[in-house]
Amino acid sequence: MKNSQHLKAYVQMHPDNKMAWYLLGKEYYKNGQHGKANYCFNQAGGVYEAFEHSKVPAEMLREYEEGLLNTARQRHDSKLRRNRVMLALVLLLLLFIPSAVAPEGSTGEPGEPAAANAASGLEDPDVPASTPESAPASEEVKSSQPAAMGFTATGEDAASMGRTLAKTVQSGQDTSRTAILTMKRSGQWLLWKKNLPLAATIEKDKEGKVVYQSYDPAACACTPPEAGGLKKQAGSWQRSQEELAVLSSAIRSYKNSKGALPEALQELTKSFPENILGGTTPLMKKNFAALRAAAAPQPPEATAKPAGPEASAIPAAGQGSGNGAGASGGGKSADQPFFTSPLRIIVDKQKHRLAVISGNIILRNYEVGLGGGRTPEGEFEISDKVVNPNGRDNGEFGSRGMQLSDTNYAIHGTNEPDSIGKDESKGCIRMKREDVEELFAMAPMGTKVEITEGVLPDEPLLPEERFPSSAPENQTNPHKVYHWLD
């Protein structure tokens, strides 16, 4: 079966190698998996016919197969070596942090196997899984969760988890406890889905030692503490981070447009055409001053390189999130959201998708209607945001419109919902009503828009609970009739 696995890996990397398909089919047939064998023989095409009806020496086939297997094994071994190097680097980082020590009962290598396997479920016989003893068994950990809890999110692979673990321990943040959530990867993207899985927590005990707790039973070979309260807090944290990302992006857009920071939140939601934001929330009001201060130029000696969104540790709920989840009251507002890169929009003409992204994280991935070759490719920005472009919410352009760089193209709603996913517009980007209203609320004026092909995943990414999308009536434009190329 190992030969089958290596050959399968090889054909995945080299799908045009018909001989490899043929040899994989032979392996499946030998193992009694005739259905898979027939599929491989079909992929092999003429090679199957040639070798099945010829008298090619068996030794020749074996030599060729061995060559392919050696190549596949080398790739596999190289991948394992990279994982081990990454884990070793994480271990060295943790060893040189004075307060970071191995939990009681662990193997004496603080954080290495538990940190990696909790995130990725890595099945490496040379990298031992953490033992039940590595999970702290004290009543303090298994009791009800304390109020002060920080959150961060990262990729579910070992490398991302390791970097996040090390940076979290090194961060020196005020909170003594941090929960790590994981995002699935799709190609180059990380997916910001609802209810991200809880991978682990890191906390300092009474003696100041760092204790790591995995919440993946398969990875830690343990029974993790009850996590219901943490998961509820994590959901609130995710929602709050979306609102903070929108507000932070709006403050940057205002500064780029006006050359100065807004003095008050109300400056972002003026009447059309000064409506940078579609609307605000209580969380935005609470955090405006802190995010404005974070956007102000910093003296060189006070400027620190921010952690990327894959590995930034966030202040605790009640100390920064502003959502009140698990907060014990009061606390300072957040000075920087989890999403440190401004929100951007990518439109994929090939996939008929429109995504809201920050860095390499996709927050939303909508299905859209386009115009095929009539939809232009390139870089744009939202230059005009209007409610009810046709003077009513069920007109040709729906209930929201966002013009692209003062052109005749726009992202807007439609009164032809059946055209979504098709190339039936004259060049504009059509969206479903609930989608365009959410995008209008999330994408500030000045948001960068890239129209391209073949870069987004097919999987839609839409939450059950949408971003608050109500907009004041003063964001209509009764003095203009729009003639976008719909």
Catalytic site positions = 412, 428
Contact partners, residue 159, CB within 8 Å, separation at least 6: 83, 86
Cβ within 8 Å of residue 274, ≥6 positions away? none
Tell me which residue of 85, 239, 86 sits closest to 161, measured CA to CA. Answer: 86
CB atoms within 10 A of CB 88: 13
- Cα distances from 465 to residues 105, 140, 194, 398, 438, in angstroms, run 43, 34, 9, 21, 11
Q: Write out the two tokens for 125.
A: 């016989």
Query: Distance (Å, rounded) from C-alpha 117 to C-alpha 220?
Result: 8
Please report the sign of the dihedral spanned by the C-alpha atoms of residue 98, residue 100, residue 104, residue 110. negative
Contact between 106 and 133 (Cβ < 8 Å): yes
**Start-to-end CA span in the chain (Å):** 56
Give the dihedral of Cα atoms 326, 332, 338, 342; nearest 10 deg: 140
Q: Label residue 130 exposed, middle or buried (CB < 10 Å: 0-12, 13-18, 19+).
A: buried
Which has the closest alpha carbon to 38: 26, 49, 50, 46?
A: 26
C-alpha–C-alpha distance, residues 357 and 461, integer Å: 11
Partners of 401 in the beta sheet? 386, 412
CA–CA distance, 41 with 19 (Å, rounded to integer): 10
Number of H helices, E strands in the chain: 12, 13
- Taking the C-alpha atoms of residue 192 and residue 184, their distance in angstroms, rounded to an integer, is 8
DSSP H or E segment with residue 76: helix 58-95
> Which CA distances in Å does 423 have to 71, 237, 274, 350?
44, 38, 32, 10
3-state secondary structure of 433: helix
